[in-house]
Structure 1
Amino acid sequence: MSREHLLEALEQHMRRQNVHGLYSLSMDHSPSEQLTGETWHTTVLIMSSHMQHEMLAVRLARRLRHKTGILMKWTNASKKYRDCFLSVFFEELNVSPAVSVFAISAKEGEIRDSAEHFIRELGLQQHYNRVETLAGKIRVEIGPLMNVTKGEKVTISLSENRALMGLFIAHFVIRMQSCMYEAAKNINQVSMINLNFLGDKFPGPPGQEMDLMFQALTSFSRATGRIAWGYFGESDTEQMDLLADNLAGALNAMHRKQGDFPGFNSDKMDSGLFYWEVWSA
């Protein structure tokens, strides 16, 4: 789906709702939030204005696990659970008019090769530096940035494998927010698109490294709205977070195994919005 088709789909989706410009989001990644040598990486955003994606997760869990009614971590799921997941997910999404899903899958090589593109579009040309340690490893330093709350300059230091995924994820989130803003503006719905994240915690210490990088990159410009970042203390028990974990795992598995899943047909969505962007050479 091109940007033009996405904007058209978003406009139609928003016209069916009472859009007020504030969304709650769940986000997760497969296989993880850092480059690990895997061929494919997938990031998923699932959002709604009044937490309707939580109810989607509950309905999905009841169908996939009748006895417990709780979704499993994708890495622990049985073959039967995995084989059924996408089919049931799309059935439930199709009766969830207020839920939007944005996903992106890219080969690891594509993410590495796109670093300069991300840096340029995020305005980091003077603030992104690769530094070789005494041990011969590459770390990335982002800064100096101004912490307006404390009134002091900050430089973020993290491994290159995490920094590259941080660029990839933040760039996608900002682009999707921009598309939502443009679609809403076209139909004169709202003046801002504000996103409140409840995601899976990034690797590294809270408030530092990748966590701080994502917050900083998504806060540079507020012309289209605010992006607020937070995460669950125990995400493995939260249905919304498990939903994002499952969908990221399922979509990534389609590429990794070059397989197909019963019921996968995003072109026939009547209700909920589903957008999936795939990068490959």
Structure 2
Amino acid sequence: MKNRGIAAPDLATAMRWFVSSLANPGFGHFFVSTDHSPSEQIYGQEWHHSILILSQNVEHQAIADELGAALNPRTGKLKQWKHADQHYKSSFHQAIFHTLKKHPVLIYGTSAKESAVLQHEAAFADALGITGCYRRIEMNSKTNVEFGPYFRSDDNHPQTLTVSEKHAPMAIYLAHSLLRVHTHLQAAVAQQAGCANVPIWFQVMSDKPPTDFTGPYADLMWLLLGGPATAGKFTWGGFKCEEDQPIDLLADNLAGMINDITIKPNLYMYQGSPLEPPISGVFYRERLE
């Protein structure tokens, strides 16, 4: 299976390629780094781009370290995309796939029009099992989204969570994307292992969300990833000092690159040599319009 390209034609194929590169696909723990560009909130932007980087043993750390040493030798770390010049960005684009090919890592990118995120919100909510568990409300002349009632494990009293209307649709969309990736990965692992009951657990490390990790957006992500369709499949969190973490910088660079390619593709024409097998890494990108 390693005598193949790096860009998969669909998500199911991407997962089969990824699983075939793993030394122990039956070991069901996967580490996921995520980031978004320009932002994970609704504010009139045409496109929103998200990156999920999956590996079993944080192999994407090696990708971040290798690219950091090559592209920013002064510090040995990747730069934040928003602070990088065009030379750095073009060099990252030329180098990322030659580095990815050496490691059993899946890079999944999704680009969604803001209008499509809103249009498909009900379908995403249904897949997450939360239909009927949230509603829009007016508070202080602003529209918010209320989730609940729900119960915490340490409290028997029903609770509700109120989130800005700018944040809730994107959180639902991103949680649904994680669930889709988890579902396809579980199917690929089951096929490879010959067993349908292999548990898959994602440890998701996010970039700093709106209102930080102690605000309502973070509470909503924990709620969505612990709901009827997702319980026991995810933990979600992130580094407080994410700007210094190589794997977060890698996700930041990839999300920024996809955003830039969408806006100004003429600046990102690949000019390097073709990728030669064997290839361990996988890249897959899809669009929601």
Q: 1:71 matched to which residue of 2?
A: 78
Local SS of the residue matching 2:110 = strand
Whether the 8 Å contact between 1:192 and 1:225 is mirrored in structure 2 is no
2:72 alignment partner AA = R
1:54 alignment partner AA = Q
Q: 1:273 matched to which residue of 2?
A: 282
Give the one of 22, 30, 37 matched to 1:23: 30
1:278 alignment partner AA = R
Number of residue pairs the alignment of both structures matches = 275
Structure-2-length-normalised TM-score: 0.88
Structure-1-length-normalised TM-score: 0.90
Q: 1:39 matched to which residue of 2?
A: 46
Gaps of 5+ in 1: none
Whether the 8 Å contact between 1:102 and 1:276 is mirrored in structure 2 is yes
Q: Does 1:165 align with 2:192?
A: no
2:281 alignment partner AA = G
Local SS of the residue matching 2:158 = strand
Give the one of 102, 110, 127 matched to 1:104: 110
Instruction: Tell me how far apart the structure 2 counterparts of residues 8 and 258 of structure 1 sit (CA, whole Å).
Output: 26
Whether the 8 Å contact between 2:129 and 2:228 is mirrored in structure 1 is no
2:190 alignment partner AA = K
Q: 1:124 matched to which residue of 2?
A: 130
Q: Does 1:175 align with 2:184?
A: no
Closer, same or farther: CA 30–4 of 1 in aligned 2, 3 Å:
closer
RMSD (Å) for aligned C-alpha atoms: 2.3
Q: CA deviation at 1:122?
A: 1.8
Instruction: Tell me how far apart the structure 1 counterparts of residues 269 and 102 of structure 2 sit (CA, whole Å).
Output: 18
Closer, same or farther: CA 38–222 of 1 in aligned 2, 3 Å:
closer
Q: 2:152 matched to which residue of 1?
A: 147
Whether the 8 Å contact between 2:90 and 2:267 is mirrored in structure 1 is no
Local SS of the residue matching 2:193 = coil
Gaps of 5+ in 2: 1-7
Instruction: Tell me how far apart the structure 1 counterparts of residues 154 and 39 of structure 2 sit (CA, whole Å).
Output: 31
Q: CA deviation at 1:260?
A: 5.1
Closer, same or farther: CA 177–50 of 1 in aligned 2, 3 Å:
same
Instruction: Tell me how far apart the structure 2 counterparts of residues 39 and 222 of structure 1 sit (CA, whole Å).
Output: 29
Whether the 8 Å contact between 1:144 and 1:154 is mirrored in structure 2 is yes
Give the one of 206, 216, 219 matched to 2:223: 216
Whether the 8 Å contact between 2:69 and 2:75 is mirrored in structure 1 is yes
Q: 2:3 matched to which residue of 1?
A: none
Give the one of 59, 62, 76 matched to 1:52: 59
**What percentage of residue pairs aligned between the two structures are identical?**
29
Local SS of the residue matching 1:230 = strand
Instruction: Tell me how far apart the structure 1 counterparts of residues 20 and 211 of structure 2 sit (CA, whole Å).
Output: 40
Local SS of the residue matching 2:107 = strand
Whether the 8 Å contact between 1:25 and 1:196 is mirrored in structure 2 is yes
Whether the 8 Å contact between 1:39 and 1:256 is mirrored in structure 2 is no
Instruction: Tell me how far apart the structure 2 counterparts of residues 123 and 260 of structure 1 sit (CA, whole Å).
Output: 42
